[in-house]
Amino acid sequence: MTFELKHTDPTTKARAGKITTDHGTIETPIFMPVGTVGTVKGVHQRELKEDINPDIILGNTYHLYLRPQTDVLEKAGGLHKFMNWDRNILTDSGGYQVYSLSANRKIKEEGVKFKSHIDGSYHFFSPEGVMEIQRAIGADIIMAFDECTPYPCDYKYAKRSMHMTHRWLDRCINHLEKTPLKYDYNQAFFPIVQGSTYKDLRKQSAEYIANAGAVGNAIGGLSVGEPAEAMYEMTEVVTEILPQDKPRYLMGVGTPINILENIALGVDMFDCVMPTRNARNGMLFTAHGTINIKNVKWREDFSPIDSMGITYVDTQYSKAYLRHLFTVNELLGKQIATIHNLGFYMWLVREARKQILAGTFAAWKTKMVKQMDNRL
């Protein structure tokens, strides 16, 4: 994997770059649609490629390990072949998904014992095991096994957890060196900064992660309930330390506004379930704010879903029709809303890139943040 920094914004810390892997190029800043179990929910691979057109999507080790299970993915020749997706894939390590199980897991130095959310069976994830699973899934970018601390988190726990995440990182790196690639393309490995909302811990963690000398770095443990200001403050501390010449991935973030603010702080990669999950609940993101399409106010609004027309659904269907589909709980409603939201998120990061390259990012960001902070 290579990363080429094309331009850094003179007034903010926003960057435009280009990642190249064996599955193609990724223009940054980028948003990665979430395809947890090997599908971006409700979207055909053909629509994903032709209408939404992301350079990279995300999968989850935790879910894929439980179903269809690692051996099936290996027999298929990896996740790309299994799901018929020939562009980039990144897999999260399971560190966050296991943490979300709260009552059903036990974290120890050796690893995490957890109870499956599917059948209640017990499983164990270690840094070593997770590297092997990610080799078998075969994503282009694979993530370190970490502990994502909750918010709030007391200082003592955050510090202890951060040090364990660092020790787990060393174990991931050692084990990866001994674990050969399974397919005929390379895999890049990203370590993850933790440290909760404590500046000194974030600084320490960023230094440790930078020292690992990986081809890209991630920031975890944010967007877990802390105020947005705390998130931005932590991102800023970390991006000051992480190397300039490597991509930076802020995990699980966020709203369109969060994304623009973090791009301004020097983040290059994002993923979040928000555009897809909220779409299935009838929430639409637009350049002028959010829409609850289930609201009665759209009952007789025959105007297009979004006059910007980023994806074909925006102009092919009216708000009244989409509201109707949600009212009668038709599958197509969720599909249309998902394509719309992903189209909008992709537009947002592509437009951010254009504005960075044109030197107009700061003013555009201010305008967009104000504009998107509305309920229509």
**216 marked ligand binding residue:** no
Catalytic residue among 9, 55, 92, 268: 92
Residue 344 touching ligand PRF (CB under 6 A): no
Nearest by Cα to 278 from 300, 254, 248? 254
Residue 222 touching ligand PRF (CB under 6 A): yes
**95 marked ligand binding residue:** yes
CB 223, CB 335: distance < 8 Å = no
Identify the sign of the CA torsion 220, 94, 160, 210. Answer: negative
Residue 96 touching ligand PRF (CB under 6 A): yes
Among residues 146, 261, 268, 306, the one that binds ligand PRF under rule CB under 6 A: 146
**170 labelled catalytic:** no
List the structure tokens of 7. 């331009």
**94 marked ligand binding residue:** yes
CB of 120 to ligand PRF, least distance (A): 23
User: In Å, what is the CA distance from 328 to each residue of 306, 325, 333?
Assistant: 21, 5, 9
- Separation of alpha carbons 237 and 239, rounded Å: 6
CB of 39 to ligand PRF, least distance (A): 19
Among residues 40, 73, 224, 349, the one that binds ligand PRF under rule CB under 6 A: 224
- Cis bond before residue 29 (omega within 30° of 0): yes
Catalytic residue among 9, 140, 268, 271: 271
Q: At which residue do the structure tokens 């709030």 appear? A: 152
Residue 209 touching ligand PRF (CB under 6 A): no
| Longest distance between any two alpha carbons in the chain, whole Å | 62
- Separation of alpha carbons 95 and 92, rounded Å: 8
CB 114, CB 96: distance < 8 Å = no
**154 labelled catalytic:** no
**38 marked ligand binding residue:** no
Amino acid identity of 190?
F
Q: Which of residues 246-305 bind ligand PRF (CB under 6 A)?
A: 251-252
CB of 221 to ligand PRF, least distance (A): 4
Binding residues: 92-96, 146, 194, 221
Interface residue list for ligand PRF (CB under 6 A): 92-93, 95-96, 143, 146, 148, 192, 220-224, 251-252
